[in-house]
Amino acid sequence: MKKENLKEMTGEKKGAVKDISSSKEKEVATDGQGEQELGDGVKESKLTSRLDQLKADLEEAKDKYLRLYSEFENYKRRTSKEKIELVKTANEDLVVSLLSFIDDFERAEKSQAKDQSMDALKEGFQLIFQKFYKTLEQYGLKAMGHKKGMEFDTEIHEAISHYPAPEKKLKGKVIEVVQKGYYLGEKVIRFAKVVTGA
C-alpha cells in the first residue's frame, strides 16, 4: 500500500511537475507572444512615424517644386519681355546717329533751291556720303574687297549671271561686281552680286 501510495504520489508529483513545466512553457510562450506583439507595435509606430515623415518630405518637395516652377515661369516672361524691348530698341543708337544725315540732306535740299553750281552740290553730297559711311563703319560695317578676276567664292558671292569670259584666265572668275557685299563684324550681311565668266 505504501508503494502504491508512493507511486500515486510520485505520479501526482510528476504530473504536477509536468503541469508546472507546461504552464511555465505556456507562460513563456505567452510572454514571447507578448514581446512579439510589443515588437510589432513598436515596428508599426516606427513605420507610421517614418511614413508621416516621408509624407511631410513629399509635401515640402512639392512646395519647393511649385515655387521653383512659378519662379521659372516668371523668369521666362520677364526675359521674353526684355528680348522684345531689346529688339525694338536695339538699333536706337544707330538711328540716332543717322538723324544727322537727314539734317544734312535737308540742308543740301535748301541750298540747291538757291541755284548753287553743280560742283558745290556734288561736293556736298560727297561729304554727306563719307560721313554716312564712316558712321556705319563705327558700328562694324565693312565693305568686301572685290575686283575683276578674283576667284568666285560661294561664301561671299552670289552669281546673278554668266557671260562668256573675255579671256581664258577669267573663266569661272568674277568679271563684274553688280552690287557690293558687306560684313557686319565678321558676319556676311549681304552677299556681293557678281557676274562670272563662263
Burial of 174 (0-12, 13-18, 19+ CB in 10 A): buried
DSSP label of 117: -
E strand residue ranges, the chain: 141-143, 157-163, 174-179, 182-184, 187-190, 192-197
Pairing of strands 192-197, 157-163: parallel
41-77: per-residue pLDDT in tens? 567 888 888 999 999 999 999 999 999 999 999 999 9
101-145: per-residue pLDDT in tens? 888 888 877 777 676 677 777 888 888 888 888 888 888 889 888
Q: What is the pLDDT of residue 39?
A: 54
Contacts (Cβ under 8 Å, ≥6 apart) of 156: 144, 181, 188, 191, 192
pTM: 0.50
Q: What is the pLDDT of residue 71?
A: 94
Give the mean pLDDT of the chain.
77
E strand residue ranges, 129-186: 141-143, 157-163, 174-179, 182-184
Amino acid at 105: F
The CATH code of domain 141-198 reads: 2.30.22.10
